[in-house]
Amino acid sequence: MTTATSTTDNPDAKVEESDVTSWCVIWLDDDASTANNRIQEDHLRSIVNHLEVFQDVESCRKYIKYIQERSKADKLRLIVSGKLGRQIVPSIHKLEEIASIYVYCLDKQSHIQWTKPFFKVKAVIDSFDQLLSEMKADHKNPTKLQDSLIFDSFDKTTTHVNAQFVYFQSLIDCFLRLKYSQEDRKELLDYCKDQYKGDERNEIDDFETNYSPENAIESYTRPSFFFRDINKAFRTKNFHKIFLFRPYIADIHHQLNQLKEKQSKNPLKVYRGQLLSKSELNHLQRCRGKLISVNSFFSTSLNKTTSQEFNNDSVTQDLERILFEIDADPKMATTKPFANITDISCFPDESEVLFMLGSIFRLQNNPFDQDGTVWNIRMTLCSEHEHDLKDVLEQLKNEYGIGEIDYRILGKRLVSMRQYDLARQCYTRFLNELSERDAQRVELYEELAQLETQDHGDTSSVEWKRKALAFKEKNPLTCIPITTNTETTSIEEGYSVAGGHGEGENKNQLKYPVGLCIDEDDDDLNIIIADQFNHRIIQCKRGNTDGEVVAGGNGEGNELHQLSSPSDVLIDKQSNSLMICDRGNRRVVQWPRCRGTTDPKVLINDIECRGLAMDNQRNLYVSDTEKHEVRRYDIYLGDKEGILVAGGNDGGDAMNQLNYPTFIFVDRQQNLYISDSKNHRVMKWKKGATEGIVVAGGEGNGYSGIQLSGPRGIFVDPLGALYVAEFANDRLTRWPQEANEGTVIVGGHGEGEKANQFNGPNGLSFDKRGRIYVVDHNNHRIQSFSLIPKIRIDEVWEEKGFTVAGGHGKGDAKNQLRKPWSFCIDDDDQKIIIADQSNDRIIQFKRGNTYGEVVAGGNGKGDRVDQLNIPSDVLIDKQSNSLLICDRGNRRVVRWPRHRGKTDPEILIDEVDCLGLAMDNEGNLYVSDGGRHEVRRYEIHLGDKKGIRVAGGNEKGDDMSQLNYPTCICIDRQQNLYVSDSKNHRVMKWEKGAIEGVVVVGGEDNEYFGIFIDPLGTLYVAELQNDCVTRWPEGAKEGTVIAGGHGEGKEANQFNGPSGLCFDKRGHLYVLDCGNHRVQRFSRKQRGLSLTGLLKETVQVVVRLINNSE
C-alpha cells in the first residue's frame, strides 16, 4: 500500500507511484501545524492513499510541477485555506493534473465570490466533516471530475500505420479469446487488496462477494474502484493493469454481445458531451477522415439533451465544449459490440449506449462546425473489415489463428509489443500447465531464450537454451513444425513418391495402401505406408520409389511377425518403434524399428481399429469402427482398456455419436478431430467434452463446397485449417477454422490416374516444409503435392537483394558461375539448380551454402552422354527424380538422374535448337526451338520424341501465329503457354489448342527473357536490356518494376542482364543475374506492420472529458 508522507515544506518530496487509482491529496494551509489541524490530518491519512501537506504557496507550486513532469500518480485533489487559495488557485486551476479543489476556511461567505470563475472548486466549506463528505462523494462519482480518453488514429497509407492502434486492437482480441478461470478473476482482487484500505477496501470486498459475469456491465457502471481503475489503466496504457482486468473485459464483451442479439438491428444515432482543450481539439481536426480507435469502454446516450448537460458546467477560456454525434449500425459491430444498457445500468435515466473497448470510428472528413459555444463532431462506427484496416489486422491475427488461444500465444503478442515482463508471466503460466514430457516445452524454452535475448542480451538466454537442448535429448518426440499458410494455394502437379507402378508386391509397388506417416530428420525423409493387402508396412526414402519392408511382409497371419490388412501406422520416437493398426487381426501392435532389438508386441486386443493418433503426452488414440468410438490409452502404463473420448453411444448422427470413424488427428490442446466417414463429416471433440461439433461437412453426402463424401485422412495445421481427403469425391479440400465451406486444393477432376487426379484418396500427411502426401488408394501409389504462395498483385519485395549463388566473379570454381542462363528451385531440398552455361554444367547450391555441387556435366564441353555443351535451361522432374536439361550446344534434351550411379543420363529429344523448358501438371514437356521458331509438347513418359506443335512454327515472323527466336517458356494450370518471343520483343500467350497467340507484354524495343506466371495470372518478366524485373497483372497495359531498375551494375539493387527468375514457396523472389554471374534473392516484405520504427509514428489524441459515466 502507498505510504502517507509526513507534513512537509520540502518541494522535492516524491509521490510513491501506484497502479491503483490513488487518493492523492495536497493540503495547503499556513496553520497546518496547529494541534487541531494535526488531528484532522491524521484522520485524512486514514482514508486517502497519499497526503502531502504544505504551509506556503511556493513549495506547493514546486511540488505540483514535479507531479507534472515526473510522476505517474493519479490526478490531484487540493484542500486550500481561503487566504492561500486566493494566491494559488488562479495559477494552477487550468493544469490537467488538478482534478478538484476544496476551499476549507473559517469564513465561508467571504470566499464564495472569488471561487465562482473556477469550476474545479467543488465546494467552499467550513466544516471538516462536510469536507470529508464532499471528497468521498466526488471520488466515488467520477462523473464530476475530469478524466482523459486516448484515441489512436490509423492512417490509410501503410507507411504511416499507427502501430499502437493495431497492437491495442490485437491485444484486446487476444484477451477476448483466452479461456478464464476463477483464479484469473481473483488475481486482480488480490492485487487491489494490497493497495487499498478503508472505504475502498470495503468496496473490493463487496465487489468480490457480489460480482458475477452476468452482472459485469452493472458492476462497471457502479461508482467504485472497478470503474475508476479500469479507466485509468486504459487512459495511461498501463498494460500490467490492463492484463489484470482481462477476464472482466471478456465478461463485459460477452454481455454486450448478448444484449446486442436481443436488441433492434436498426442503426442508431447516439451522443456524447465532453470538454476538450484547444490543442486537443486541433489534434482531432487533423484526424478528420481517419479511423480512430477508442481505447476504453465508450459511453454515449440516445438522448442529445442528456449529453449536452455534461458540458454545461462553467468553462474557462482553455476548454471547448464538444458534442459527439455518432451513427452506429449494429451490422458494423462484428467484433466490438455495442448495446443499450439502460435496463442494467446504475444510472438508468441516462439512456446509455455502451460501446466495447477498442471500438473503431471514422471521423467526418469535413471541417468541424460550431453551434454557438459547442463544437459538433460527427463520427461513424466502422468494422475491422474496413478496407484500410482489413489486411493489417488479418495479418496479425493470422499469426495466432482463429478461435480460442492460450497464454503462449498471448505471450508472443506481448513480446512483439515489447512488454517483456508480462510476456514472461504468460509463458511461465503456460509452462506450469504442461506436463514434464509435453513436446511444447522445447518450443517454449526456445521462445523464452529469444525473449531474454531481446530484453537483456544473449547471456541471459543461456539457461533456457540449455533446457531446450536437455529436453530434446531426453524426449526425441517433439512437435513437427509444419510450414503451412492460409495464403497458399496448391500446385496440382502431384508426383508419385511411392508405388505408382501398378498393383503388386514388389518393392516399388503397393496394393491398396491406406494410412501413412512421415519420418523427417534433418535432410532425411522417409514415407512409412500401411500397405494393406500386401500385409506389410513399407518405408520409402525420399527420392527412391523402391521401398524397404519394416514390419510384416511375412504373409497374412496372426503370428507376432505377421500382419493382416494393416490400416494405419505412426511413429513413436521415444521408443523408436512403429504403432500399427493390425486391423485384420483386431489388434494394435508395437513394432521395433531396429530389427533384433525387441520382438513386436500386442498393445491392445479385440478392437476393430481403423485409425491412430498420439498426443504430446504420448497417449495413444484409436478409432473403433465397430463400436463407433474413439478411445485414449496410456500405453506406457500398460493401459489396455482405455478411456472413451468420443462417440460410443451406438452408431448415429447426433452430436454425441459417430458412424464408422476412420482417421483421427489430435492437436496440441488435445482436441480430437475425427473422420466420421458414414456421416460424411469431420467432428471436433474438445478435451473432456461429451459431445462434438461439426467442423467440415455434415450436410449430407455430396459434392458441393459445404459437403463431404466419405472423408478419410485428415490433418490440422498450426493455424487451425483442416485438410480432408474425400475418398468418394476424389479430392483434397481445405477448411479454414470456423469455415462453412471447403476449398478444393488438389484433385476434383474426376476419378483417374493423372498427376492431378485421385482414385479413392485415403490417408494424408505433411512434411515440415508443407508438402502434402496423399495415399491414392485405388491407384496403388502415394502422391506428393507442393504448396506455393498466393502472391498478391500489390506484393512488395526488399529493394536490395543478396547473393545466394555465385557472386565471386566469373569462373569455374565451386563458388563461381560463368554466364549462367536459367535455373530452378527445389523447395523440398532447399536447393537452387543452375544451368551454368559457359561452364557446361548444372550446379546445385544448397540454401545457405556458397559452394555448389556439380550435378550434371562438368566433364568438359562435348557430346558424350556424360557431357553438356552450353546448357540453357534445367527443370526437375519429380516423378522420375531427375533433371531435364536443354543441352543447347548438342541440340538435344537430356535426362540426368539426381542420384548418381542409379541410371545413366539419357537423350530424350534430338535435333532441336532447344532454349527453354516447361512441364505441365500432367507431366508433358514443352520445348522452345529457336531454329524453327516454335514450341512443341512431348509426352516424354510415353517415349514421345516427335512432339506436337503448340505455338509458332509458321516460319519466322511477327504475326499472331508466328514467333521469332522463342527462348524462355512457362505453363499455367490450364495449360496456357507463355513464350518469351525475344526477337519480336514481346511475351505471347497461347491458350491450349489455339492456333494464334496474343501479346501480353511488349510493344517496346526490349528483350524479355525469364518469365513466371503465378496462380492469379500475374506475369513476372526479367527484362535483359532494362536490367529489371517487372510485374504485369492480367490484362495490364504496362508493367511495374519490382526489382532492379537502377541501371546496369553490380550493387545489391542492380542487375547486369537478368535472364531468369523464380519464386520459392514463401514468395521470395530469385533472379539470375547473368552478366554478374550470380543469383540474387529478394525477400518478400512482411505485409502491414514492421515492428521497428512504427511506434515513433503513433498519433495519440488525448481527450479530456466530463461525462456522467466516465
Q: Is 549 exposed, middle or buried (0-12, 13-18, 19+ CB in 10 A)?
A: middle
Using an 8 Å Cβ cutoff, are 359 and 389 in contact? no
Q: What angle do CA 674, 680, 686 make, to 5 degrees?
A: 30
Residue 625, pLDDT score = 97
Residue 396, pLDDT score = 58
Q: Is 924 exposed, middle or buried (0-12, 13-18, 19+ CB in 10 A)?
A: buried
Nine-digit cell at 160? 504511416
Class of domain 912-1003: mainly beta
Q: Is 630 exposed, middle or buried (0-12, 13-18, 19+ CB in 10 A)?
A: buried
Smallest Cα–Cα separation from 1071: which of 770, 806, 786, 788? Answer: 806
More confident residue, 422 or 587: 587
Smallest Cα–Cα separation from 71: which of 10, 11, 16? Answer: 16
Highest mean pLDDT among 22-26, 736-740, 1068-1072: 1068-1072
For 1068, phi then psi, to 5°, come to -75, 145
**pLDDT tens readout for residues 137-193:** 766 555 433 455 567 777 654 334 456 677 777 788 888 878 787 888 888 888 888
**pLDDT tens readout for residues 688-730:** 899 999 999 999 999 999 999 999 999 998 778 899 999 999 9
Using an 8 Å Cβ cutoff, are 439 and 616 in contact? yes
How far, in Å, CA of 984 to CA of 961, rounded? Answer: 12
More confident residue, 1110 or 613: 613
Concatenated DSSP letters of 951-988: EE-SSB-SSTT-BSSEEEEEE-TT--EEEEEGGGTEEE
Smallest Cα–Cα separation from 32: which of 56, 15, 14? Answer: 56
More confident residue, 1099 or 683: 683
Smallest Cα–Cα separation from 949: which of 980, 982, 912, 908? Answer: 912
pLDDT at 30 over 70: yes
Residue 477, pLDDT score = 41
Residue 23, pLDDT score = 63
**pLDDT tens readout for residues 619-653:** 999 999 999 999 999 988 889 999 999 999 999 99
Mean pLDDT within 656-675: 95
pLDDT band of 985, cuts 50, 70, 90: very high
**pLDDT tens readout for residues 1063-1072:** 987 788 999 9
Can you tell me which residue has the cell 479454414?
Answer: 736
Domain boundaries, the chain: 24-140, 151-400, 407-474, 495-786, 912-1003
pLDDT at 790 over 80: no
Mean pLDDT within 443-462: 84
More confident residue, 264 or 158: 264
For strand 892-897 and strand 536-541, is the pairing parallel, antiparallel, or unpaired?
unpaired
- What type of residue is 137? A
% residues pLDDT > 70 (the chain): 86
**pLDDT tens readout for residues 324-374:** 999 999 988 878 899 999 999 988 888 999 999 989 899 988 777 777 778
Residue 575, pLDDT score = 86
How large is the angle between the packed helices 407-416 and 163-177, nearest 10 degrees?
170
- Cα diameter, the chain: 117
How far, in Å, CA of 197 to CA of 135, rounded? Answer: 16
Mean pLDDT within 400-422: 76
Mean pLDDT within 424-452: 82
Looking at domain 24-140, its CATH architecture is: 3-Layer(aba) Sandwich (3.40)
Question: At CB < 8 A and 24+ separation, what contacts does 186-190 make?
Answer: 187/244, 188/244, 188/245, 188/247, 188/248
Residue 712, pLDDT score = 98
Helices (H), 974-1070: none
How many Cα atoms within 13 Å fall on the side-chain side of residue 360? 27
Lowest-confidence range among 420-434, 642-656, 750-764?
420-434
Mean pLDDT within 793-815: 91
Can you tell me which residue has the cell 526425441?
Answer: 476
Helices (H), 373-461: 387-398, 407-416, 420-433, 440-456
Q: What angle do CA 545, 570, 406 make, to 5 degrees?
A: 125
More confident residue, 137 or 53: 53
pLDDT band of 404, cuts 50, 70, 90: low
Residue 4, pLDDT score = 35
Can you tell me which residue has the cell 478503508?
Answer: 198
pLDDT at 237 over 90: no
Smallest Cα–Cα separation from 10: which of 58, 50, 78? Answer: 58
How many Cα atoms within 13 Å fall on the side-chain side of residue 841? 18
pLDDT band of 398, cuts 50, 70, 90: low
How far, in Å, CA of 546 to CA of 531, rounded? Answer: 14
**pLDDT tens readout for residues 515-559:** 999 998 756 789 999 999 999 999 999 878 789 999 999 999 999
pLDDT at 6 over 60: no
Q: What is the CATH number of domain 151-400?
A: 3.90.176.10
How large is the angle between the packed helices 82-92 and 57-69, nearest 10 degrees?
30
Mean pLDDT within 1006-1011: 85
Residue 159, pLDDT score = 38
Using an 8 Å Cβ cutoff, are 578 and 570 in contact? yes
Residue 1102, pLDDT score = 34
How large is the angle between the packed helices 246-262 and 163-177, nearest 10 degrees?
80
Mean of all residue pLDDT scores within the chain: 84
Q: What is the CATH number of domain 407-474?
A: 1.25.40
Sheet containing strand 822-826, strands side by side: 822-826, 831-836, 841-846, 853-857
pLDDT at 915 over 70: yes
**pLDDT tens readout for residues 79-128:** 999 889 999 999 888 787 787 899 998 888 888 888 888 888 888 998 88
For strand 601-605 and strand 1040-1044, is the pairing parallel, antiparallel, or unpaired?
unpaired
Using an 8 Å Cβ cutoff, are 726 and 761 in contact? yes
Q: Which fold has domain 495-786?
A: Neuraminidase (2.120.10)
Q: Is the pTM of this model over 0.75?
A: no
Concatenated DSSP letters of 284-322: HHHTTTSEEEE-S-EEEES-HHHHHHTT-S---TTEEEE
